Structure formats: structure tokens, C-alpha cells
Chains A and B, each alone.
Chain A
Amino acid sequence: MKIKWAMLAAIFTIVTVLTGCEPLAVLNPKGPQAETQADVIWLSIGIMLFIVVAVFAILIYMLVKFRASKQSDDYEPPHIEGNVIVESICVGIPVLIVAFLSIVSVQSNYEVESSPEGYGEKEPLVVYASSSNWKWHFSYPEQNIETVNYLYIPTDRPLEFKLYSYGPITSFWIPQLGGQKYAMSDMVTTLHLAADAPGEYMGRNANFSGKGFAENTFNVKAMPQAEFDEWVDEVNNTADPLTEKEFDQLLEPGHLGQLTFKGTHLTFLPPPSAENGGHNHGSGSADKHTEMSGNSDNESDSGHSDSHSDEEHSDH
């Protein structure tokens, strides 16, 4: 059976590539949450490989042994009902595997849903990350600054992201720091991350959100606390303040480069609260969106996205 070997080969290729010199983002964690997840992924790949190999082995054995061409013409296969012992094994082993994986799953889920440990008494840095078509706004209430499409974070300190959206459901994702979480328009979700190593990481919206989705990315730069503080000071000294009018313009559908502001939009446009489904920004921004998308015709929008990707090129 050619295909069996082809597939075995494919699996080996995958494994080699996965363990190869250029590690894949998800399997190259730079923070505790991503590390937990990578561990779970490796563990499950291992166990699943065992199952796949078992199935392949049985299948190959059956095909080699019981081909019609290998048997006499007058051989009549017997009538065999199920066998309790065999079937118990077929149930038992998967049950044990699933039970084991369940424990791992529950444990790791609680782990990634709580603030990462091992950072002493350090308070988490709270960052409000909100999305609008097709941008990310990062508000640092503690530092009183706001950025668009880029995120500076200190290393060795827990991070607490508060996520919400001005528009479609989006998903905040920095693969090397940890898994994603949805940002929605009527509630705030919380994502706990932390970065151990300084460096630049890719972040993006992972949940399809319309025309500009592919370019809905942001750059993440992790740096030591001192350097981070320096950056905060610099922003506070040089950046323009973020006004309500300015922010309304930022919310218009389209792509923007990286922007930096003093002050955050949280002061004049608080994040949604789920009570009564009442969220003040919701109704207001919804009306604006309709208006704006009504005005912007398609040519100008696609022009927008083109110029953006050009920008991206020059950045690289």
C-alpha cells in the first residue's frame, strides 16, 4: 500500500520539520503561557502518534495477511460476532487515554486562565486592547498612553489584557506569548500573558473580520522593564494627546500605520459592561459605523489597504 508509506513519510517529515532548525511560532514559546500550551501540544502529538501508529500497524497487518490473492479460492471467511474482551480493550485503552488527556486539559486550561506565576510579587501590567476595523488600539491606563497597531511590553512581568471590540468579533493573538482570546463589542474578556525573553513578536487578529482582515496585525516588542519605562517617559514627553475627535477618526474602517498618543480613550469612552447588555459605546459607535461605511466607497478602501501593505514592506 503505497499510501501508507507515503503517509508515514509525511508524518516523519512533519515531525522533522517541527523539531527542525527553524521552530514554528507556536512551538517556540517566549512566555510561560505559550510554554504550557506548547507542552500540551507536544504531549498530545506524542500520544496521538502512538494511536496513529497502532491503527496503521493493524491495517497493514490485515491487508498483508488477508488479501484474497494470498488465499485459496475455496476459502470462506468465518462468521464472527464481536468478542467482549477485544471490544473492552478497544474501549478501555481509549478511555484511559481520554481520561489522562482530560486531566491535562483541565489543569492546563486553569493554568492559562490565571495570572502566570513565578514573577514574585509583581503586579500585572494591565493593557486594554480593543480592535476596530482593522486596527488594534492599546491603552495603558497605568502609564496613561495609547498606541495603535504596536505593543511594547516589559519582560518578566505578568500582563493582563482586557479585550473588546468596536465592531466584529476579533481574536487577539500573539502566538509566541500564548493562545488567543476573542474581543467582542458587548463585553470585556481577559487574557493573561507574560514574556520571558526580549524580542519582537508577531501579533494579529485571528478571527475573520471582513475585508481588511489579512492585514489586521500588530507588532509586539518585549523589552526589559527599564527600557519600557524609558519608552513610557519618552511618549509622555513627545506624543500628542488623544482627543475624542481624534479617536473617532481612528475608529473609521481602514488601515493605519503605527501611532502613539498621550492619554487613553478609556477616559471618554469606557469599555463595555455586560449589564443589561448596556454598553454605552455600543449604540453610539454602531451608528457611526453605518454612517462611515456608507460613505466610504470600495475603491478608496482597497487603495487604503494597498498603501498599507507598501508601508509594511518598507518596515521590513
Chain B
Amino acid sequence: MDFFDRFAIPHPSPIIYASMVAIGLTVIAIVAGLTYFKKWGYLWREWITTVDHKRIGIMYLLSALLMLFRGGVDALMMRAQTAVPENTLLEAQHYNEIFTTHGVVMIIFMAMAFIIALMNFVVPLQIGARDVAFPRLNNLSFWLYFMGAMLFNLSFVIGGSPSAGWTSYFPLAGNEFSESVGTNYYMLAIQISGIGTLMTGINFIATILKMRAPGMTLMKMPMFTWSALITNLIIVFAFPVLTVALAMGTMDRLFGSNFFTTSDGGMDMLWANLFWVWGHPEVYILILPAFGIYSEIIPTFARRNLYGYKSMVASMVLISLLSFFVWVHHFFTMGQGALVNSIFSISTMAIAVPTGIKIFNWLFTLWKGKIKITVPMLYSLGFLPIFTIGGVTGVMLGMSAADYQYHNTMFLVAHFHLVIIPGVVFAMIAGMTYWWPKMFGFMLNERIGKWTFWFIAGGTCLAFFPMFISGLDGQARRMYTYSEATGFGIWNMLSFIGALGLAAGFILIVYNVYYSTRYASRDIGDDPWDARSLEWATHNPVPEYNFAITPQVNSSEAFWDSKKNGHKLFKGPFKEIHMPNNSGMPFIMSILFFVLGFALVFSLWIVAIISLIGVFACLAHRSFEKDHGYHISVEEIEKTEAERGGAEHENR
């Protein structure tokens, strides 16, 4: 039985046993349901093996929503535990696991997946492309991400979750102080998912730079595509750093190397440096696409073009460059001296300038506009003030001397949540609502959507504003409890109430999806928002080949021009379209990666070696495979186009 002991949870609790049962029942229900409705074949052919960027985007979206709830439950438990002083809801160890998984799940498996979901769905449509540059690689990216996420979540029920914080600082995360396999899960799950992300980065750079519709010069790209390009450039340059750091951490834990240990020359702060050299650009990987989404939504509902297109692009480029030169501000208190701190303090505050330009450009986009308050617009308008508060507190944190007082406190927690929630989460919900009709052919209910917004915006403010105060009063972050004498109780109770508001908002989102799926009208045309960019020039639902005829572009708002100024988007007759074949290989390979990761977590060397050989066998298979795709005939295209009708016909 010794062999099985390693899989036991080191700190079992009723909550964990309950989740084990719940997970087991869910899996059984899914398997039974798929079998009963005979959907296995459908699932395999249409989704698991798909190379269609739209379907991959939707799979990312569903996974991201799933992870949002997983991370959200963590957040609620944290806030519940700290709502009152000396609370005994959770033990210290359990609390530590929860804030660790909350951070990892939200950043790596929720926010990343969400932005990649929207990039996948929207970018090829916005640039008038048939698909991404490497459709099969895209499928592999998704499955690697998904398997990484599943591996990470498995830690909850097998072997124990990581508990050294999402930053996983060594030596705390090393074998000396974290004995459970939790941190192994952290290292390997993020590694697997990170490889997928890196491939997405390569894929989208190639797509955006090489596959744009004729006439779409770089400076005529829609702003979301611009943000996707910059984001993916950051991904390609930042993720390898994480790859190396995680590999070193894994080796320290599994093979006894001495990178970050406290003995034989190991250097704990090297991890912190490498982590944040990736970690800070990562923040901009998340926020730039969000900026891109707002830059699509605000002009649409102000019925005006985006103000200051060029400065918007320039500011994004500047932000992406600066993002690589600010990482030290995550540890001003390391003792590197006033000179180093001063340099990084200035570079950090400098980011406020390009960000400020963007804020003002959005504000000026409203000027002389005709503002229609829809749900996506409501999130965009809510984003501006809340994000400004989060942003200016970031400048305050950037002042190194003062940061000695903010560092590691609730003030910092308040700051980054007030940046990430309005910046990323609002944008994700706004983007999801905005592009939902393109994805699913109906619109989400506006009334429920507005209620949701008020719950989420109000919840955000109530949950995080009190943290500024308790932080300045000396409440360190990551404390599982505090005594009554500290006086932190009231602020934490307010935060908890805010968190409940947020939870209510997220439940309303689910209800809205259910409600709209059941009752919403399917007769919405191809362009329900009266929008401006190319993705709205496709049919609803979008045919698998996206555009029957490659569009001709003359400005950054080609579709608007075609509607208002008589620009002709689609010229020439239909031609045969070449399409890539679906493939099950990426899925199989990702499963092997999952097994490899799991085997390494528990040091099951034989299984690890076999699955690694399996991964290489998949690569070898791919090398020898002849895959020329297939063609869609002109007759078929004509048939589809006639059936779906819509905008293209009007323009032809």
C-alpha cells in the first residue's frame, strides 16, 4: 500500500471529500450523458479534433468560464474565512492552498484562456483570414492548456494542492519547506499549459503578420487585432523565461539540484527575478487584449471612430516594451539599494503615461458621439473609472520608498484586483457579450446583463476598496486569520459582502446564458450591434471557411465603410476553398503530456519515460504524415451562401 500512500491528501477535510464525490459524480454524469445521447462521435469529430479557430475559441471560452467558477469559489472561501477575526472555517494550510490555487487558476487558466478564446474567435475574422496560420498547432495549444488546467485541478483531490502562493517563492516552495507534491503540480501544470500558450503566440504572430486581407496594412488593422499582435509578441518573449524558471524549480524539487535552495550556492531571489521577468509582461499579456476589446466596443456604441488610432498603437508598443523593464518593482524591498530601486521606480511610473493616453483616447471617442448604453458598453464605461483608481494606486505603489509600506499588504491586493477585474474580467464579459451573437447566433439578454453589471461593478468596489484601508492599517496579505484587537474585522467583513455581490453577478451570467439560450430570438441578422469591423461582415452562424470571398480592405473600419460609404468588400466570383483536415493527434499528444506531468508529480519514472516516448512518437508521426487538407467546391459555397444570406449579399 506504500505505493498508494503518496496519492493521499495530506490535509483532508470534509470539503475536499465532498468535492471528490462531486467530481466523481460529474464525470459519471458526463460520460453517461454522452453515451446515452450517442454524442461521443459528434464530440470527437466536431470538437475534440477540430482545427477551426472558431470552435477552438469556443472551447477556450467554456474552459475559461469553468475555471472562473473554480477560482471564484476559492475567492469566496478566502473572504469567508477572513470575514471575522479568529475564524475557524479553514485551517492555515487549507487557506494557503486556496489562495495559491485562486491566483494560479485565475491568471493562468482563467484570464489567459479567456483572452486566447476571444483572440481565436475574433482575430482571423477581423483580418479577413480563413483560419490561423497553423490550425493544427492551434488545436494542440488548446489541449495542452486544457490538460495543464486539469492536471492542476487534480491536485485538489490527489496528493494535495500547492500552498506556497501563486508566486511560489523559493525556498518556501522547495522541498525543505513544501513537502507535499502540491508544488510539483504547480511547476508541471503551468509548464504544460505554458507550452501551449507559447505556440498560440507563434501562431497568432504569423497569422496577423502574414494572413491579412489585401489592403489591410498594419496601420489599418482593427485595434483588437493590434492588441493581439502585441500581446503575442510579449508571449513569445516572456514565456520562455517562465519555461526555464519552472524547469529549474522542477529540477530542484525532483532531482535535488541547487538553483533556489538555501544550501550549496542556491539563490532564492533568482526565482523571484525570473518569475517576475515573465510575471510582469504577463500582466500586460492580459490587459492589452482587454484594451483592444474596449477599443472595439466603445467606438461601436458611441457610433464614432476610435479617437487617436495612431497614439493608441504607439502607446501599446510602448507599454509592451516598458513591461520588460519594471519587474524589480515586485520586490523593491529585497535590499538592492536606492539606485536600482530608483531606476525601476521611474520605469514603472512611466507606464502610466501610455496608459493615460489610452484612457483619454477612449474618453475622447465618446466626444460628439451618439452613446448607446448596451451591456458591453456598460462594462466599458464602468471600466474607465474603476480602472483609473486601480491604475493610480499602481503609480503610488511604484514610488519605491512608499512601497516599503504597501508591499505585501492588502493595499497591494486591492490595487491589482482593481486593475485586473475592471481591466480583464470586465473586458472578458463585455467581449463575450459583444461577440456572443457571432459565436452562437443569438444575443444575451440585455436586462439580465445590466443587472449583472451592477452586481459585479458594485461587488468589485465593495470587495476591494476596504482593502486599501486595512492595508494601510498594517494588514499583511495571505494571513489566514487575525486577532480582534487589530481592528481589521470591519474592513474584511465589507470585502466579504462585496465578494458575495461578485458571486451573485457571476451566477447571473450563467442564468443569462441559460435564459437567452432558451428564449432569445434567433432572427438577429449578421450585424446586430451595427458594428464597424470585418468580423461582422460574415454570416450568422459563420461558415467554416469564414469568408466566401477574401474581402478587400481600405481602412481600419472596412465594414463600416462598406455600410456607410459604399466601399465594396467582396469582389470577384467564388473560388474553390482549401481547408485543413481535423486531427486527433494533438489531443492524444496532450493526453500523453498529462500522463507525463502526473507521473513526474509523483516521481513515477517508468510511466514518465513511456509517456515521453509517446510524445516523441506523436511528433514522429506528424513528421511522416501526409496531410493535404481538402477543398470546398464552388457549388457547396454557393449553397451555403444562399442559405445564410445576409450582409455579404447586400454588399455584392
Contacts and interface: CB of A to CB of B under 8 A. Distances in A.
A316 interface: yes
Contacts of B331: 182
B341 A26 contact: no
A18 interface: yes
Nearest to B336: A189
B481 interface: yes
Nearest to A274: B267
Given A133-B177, A190-B335, A185 B268 contact: yes
A113 B338 contact: yes
A213 B457 contact: no
A263 interface: no
Interface in B384-428: 384-386, 388-389, 392-393, 395-396, 398-405, 407-409
A186 interface: yes
| Most chain A C-beta atoms within 10 Å of own C-beta, residue among B262, B309, B474 | B262
Contact of A211 (B92, B310, B476): B92
B387 to A, nearest CB: 9
Contacts of B307: 80, 82
Interface string B78-105: 0000000010000111001000000000
Contacts of A36: 401
Contacts of A59: 363, 366, 381, 384-385
Contact of A109 (B382, B401, B468): B401
Interface in A240-296: 276-278, 282-283, 285-287, 289-290, 293-294
Given A71-B370, A182-B333, A316-B485, A108 B396 contact: no
Contacts of B482: 214
Interface string B187-214: 0000000000000000000000000000
B352 interface: yes
Contacts of A58: 360, 363
A182 B334 contact: yes
A38 B402 CA distance: 7
Contacts of B381: 1, 59, 63
Given A208-B165, A277-B266, A25 B370 contact: no
Interface string A97-137: 11001101110111111100000000000000000010000
Given A48-B392, A185-B171, A206-B476, A286 B261 contact: yes
Contacts of A14: 465, 468-469
A204 B385 contact: no
B408 A77 contact: no
A239 interface: no
B465 A25 contact: no
A167 B349 CA distance: 33
Report, nearest first, the 6 A-B pairs whose CB atoms are least far apart. A179-B404, A189-B335, A277-B265, A82-B308, A168-B172, A108-B401
Contacts of A113: 337-338, 341
9 contacts: A7-B385, A82-B307, A95-B353, A102-B346, A105-B349, A167-B172, A182-B333, A211-B92, A211-B96
A34 B406 CA distance: 12
Interface string A59-102: 10011001110010001111111110011001100110110011
Contacts, number: 331
B215 interface: no
A180 B310 CA distance: 42
Interface residues of B, number: 109
A94 B359 CA distance: 12
A18 B411 CA distance: 13
Given A171-B407, A189-B334, A26 B305 contact: no
A108 B352 contact: no
B635 interface: no
A7 B461 contact: yes
Contacts of A38: 405
B176 A286 contact: yes
Contact of B388 (A55, A77, A83, A111): A55
A181 interface: yes
Interface of A: 1-4, 6-7, 10-11, 14, 17-18, 22, 24-27, 34, 36-38, 40-41, 44-45, 48, 51-52, 55-56, 58-59, 62-63, 66-68, 71, 75-83, 86-87, 90-91, 94-95, 97-98, 101-102, 104-106, 108-114, 133, 163, 167-169, 171, 173, 175, 178-182, 184-187, 189-190, 202, 204-214, 276-278, 282-283, 285-287, 289-290, 293-294, 298, 302, 305, 309, 312-313, 316
Nearest to B560: A79
B304 A80 contact: yes
Contacts of A62: 363, 366-367, 369, 371
B568 interface: no
**Chief secondary structure at chain A's binding surface:** helix
B405 A37 contact: yes
Given A17-B469, A109-B341, A66 B401 contact: no
Contact of B478 (A208, A286, A287): A208
B168 to A, nearest CB: 10
B311 interface: yes
A78 B368 contact: yes
B508 to A, nearest CB: 17
A36 to B, nearest CB: 7
A298 B364 CA distance: 59
Interface in B262-280: 262-269, 272
A98 B407 contact: no
Contacts of B46: none
Contacts of A206: 407-409, 476
Nearest to B482: A214
Contact of B405 (A82, A98, A175, A286): A175
B510 interface: no
Interface string B626-637: 000000000000
| Most chain B C-beta atoms within 10 Å of own C-beta, residue among A26, A27, A38 | A26
A247 B393 CA distance: 43
Given A90-B360, A208-B408, A293-B177, 18 more contacts: A7-B389, A56-B385, A59-B385, A62-B369, A77-B368, A80-B304, A80-B367, A81-B305, A82-B307, A86-B364, A105-B399, A106-B338, A106-B342, A108-B401, A181-B334, A190-B335, A211-B96, A312-B483
Contacts of A171: 333, 407-408
Contacts of A212: 92
A186 B266 contact: yes
B372 A80 contact: no
Nearest to A312: B483
A309 B473 contact: no
A75 B370 contact: yes
Nearest to B305: A79
A44 B396 CA distance: 6
A189 to B, nearest CB: 3
Contacts of B346: 98, 102, 105-106
B401 A105 contact: yes
Given A106-B345, A179-B403, A3 B458 contact: yes
Contacts of B349: 98, 101-102, 105
B133 to A, nearest CB: 32
A94 B461 contact: no
A108 B92 contact: no
A66 B371 contact: yes
Contacts of B479: 213-214
A58 B473 CA distance: 33
B357 interface: yes
Contacts of B179: 293-294
A273 B262 CA distance: 13
B382 A3 contact: yes
B472 interface: yes
B405 A179 contact: yes
A102 B349 CA distance: 8
B175 interface: yes
A182 B407 CA distance: 11
B177 A167 contact: yes
B402 A87 contact: no
Given A66-B369, A277-B267, A87 B305 contact: no
